[in-house]
Structure 1
Amino acid sequence: MTNRLVKHIQNLLPDFTAGEKDLSPFITTRVVKKDEILLRENEPCDALYFVARGCLYLYYEHHAVKQVIHFALENWWITDYKTFAMKGPAVYSIAAMEDSELIVINRQQYEALLNQYPMVALYFNTIHERAYGAALLKQKTYATTTKEDFYKYFKNTYPDILARIPDPIFASYMQVNLEELVQLKQSGVS
């Protein structure tokens, strides 16, 4: 798993020369089962998760209804970024959508990694810039299109992701009920 992370870093920063042995003191690996919860709202948020295999999702509960707001597939990072940075209680939960293999970096390991390899800060900055840009684009696209057009956009832009997301989770992400999502899918939106 660590090799996958090293390759991901080197893909974005070709001059990064550290290898698996160099990074291993700063990470742990974890295998989780589908539906396993890695972080719950109001718990301390002390870890970043890199998905080596599988899929995770970020959500919050509102009136006892799960509201999905983000996914993380292979080579993506996920955490409750606000509370990871502020060292406060989580405002989001993270769960496994599939059986997954993860690389986990806790806050102390993260800070030690950045101190030992300052170039990794540039890597994380690049990752966060991309993620922030994608989140803003999702927000704009969702706000300025119909639900049908948003579904079409997502289906055409991320067909591989859509194929992996169970309908109830994607319905929550789209902020529609399951019946509405089924109607969108049946209406032949393409």
Structure 2
Amino acid sequence: MTEQLYRHIQKLVPAFNVERSLLQPFFKTKLIKKDELLLKEGETCDTIYFVDQGGLYMFYNDHSHRQVVHFALENWWITDYKTFSDGKPAVYSIAAMEDSEITYINRKEYEILLSQLPLLALYFNQLHERAYGAALFKQKTFATVSKEDFYRQFRRNYPELTGRIPDAVFASYMGISPEFLKELQGAFIS
């Protein structure tokens, strides 16, 4: 377990004060290269990933075209939550959008930790509540505002993301062509 992850847990659950050495065996850390796949659609998803450094994105393939649905930067978690919980084949893939350092835990170890450490269960519950709320907000926003307004809101709400997400990945996330994204970027700067 990295110091960064431990601090993130304590930030959300200040009462969490477990010796890091007790947690260390449950978590693994590794470096991954840009474009490396962590999870491929159709594989078993039994791992949840924390981004220590870098960025990941989640997508599904639609006629050989990647449809991006989610990002994760530093201090964010990412997995295919549907299949992480039910053990069925993944419906999404996860790839690195830049060289990254991640910490991860598999489902079995995750369940052991949550059963033994209620404050860690509280931490993950807070993460999942935030993620679910954000997903619902994105869905509503996508349904009720123009692509131009969505782009403006995204840039305003997530300025740290806009410079780091490759244009092709962001265009897919918005459901637009890279050319239209260039137009939006130009209009935003003007």
Do the structures match in fold with TM over 0.5? yes
Contact (CA 8 Å) 2:44, 2:89: kept in 1 or not? yes
- Report the Cα offset of residue 96 of structure 1: 0.3
Can you give the 5+ residue segments of structure 2 that lack an aligned partner in the other structure?
Answer: none
Contact 2:51 2:77 in 1 (8 A): yes
Task: Tell me how large the CA RMSD over aligned residues is.
Answer: 1.1
CA distance in 2, matches of 1:134, 1:19: 32
Partner SS for 1:165: coil
Q: C-alpha distance in 1, partners of 2:139/2:103?
A: 28
Structure 1, gaps ≥5 residues long: none
Query: Alpha carbons of 1:62 and 1:68: their partners in 2 closer, same or farther (altered >3 Å)?
Result: same
- Check the 8 A contact 2:152/2:188 in 1, yes or no: no
Letter in 2 for 1:12: L
Residues 49, 104 of structure 1: 8 Å contact kept: yes
* Pairwise CA distance, 1:115: 2.3
Q: Secondary structure at the match of 1:17?
A: coil
Residue aligned with 1:38, SS: strand
Q: Share of identical aligned residues, percent?
A: 58
How far the C-alpha of 1:2 sits from its partner, in A, is 1.5
Which residue matches 2:180?
A: 180
Letter in 2 for 1:115: S
| TM-score normalised to structure 1 length | 0.97
Superposition deviation, residue 22 in structure 1: 1.7
CA–CA separation in structure 2 for the residues paired with 1:132 and 1:97: 23
Partner secondary structure for residue 15 of structure 2:
coil
Match of 1:51 in 2: 51
Structure 1 residue aligned with 2:146: 146
- Matched ranges for 1:99-178 at <5 A: 99-178=99-178
Amino acid paired to 1:181: L
Aligned-pair CA distance for 1:72: 0.4
What residue is the counterpart of 1:10 in the other structure?
10
SS in 2 for 1:15: coil
| Residues in 2 aligned to 1:185 and 1:151: alpha-carbon distance in whole angstroms | 9
Aligned length: 190
1:113: Cα distance to partner?
1.0
**TM-score normalised per structure 2:** 0.97
Residue 170 of structure 1: CA displacement? 0.3
